[in-house]
Amino acid sequence: GYRINKGKAMCTLPPGVRIPVEAPMGLAFHNVMEYSNLASFLPEIYAEFGPEIH
């Protein structure tokens, strides 16, 4: 875990703590599935409402 503080990346994990590699890999897989799902209906919504949605 990192965050940006005053324009600099800072590690937020305690020393010696590591995130298992499966965590970001699982998130990446989830994102692909989620964006695929969104791609199935967002174009239709945009075609109907266009840039009017704020």
pLDDT in tens, the chain (54 residues): 899 999 999 999 999 999 999 999 999 999 999 999 999 999 999 999 887 766
The pLDDT of residue 40: 97
The pLDDT of residue 42: 94
The pLDDT of residue 54: 62
pTM of this prediction exceeds 0.85: no
The pLDDT of residue 1: 82
d(CA 53, CA 4): 31
Select from 37, 17, 41, 40 the least CA-distant residue to 29.
37
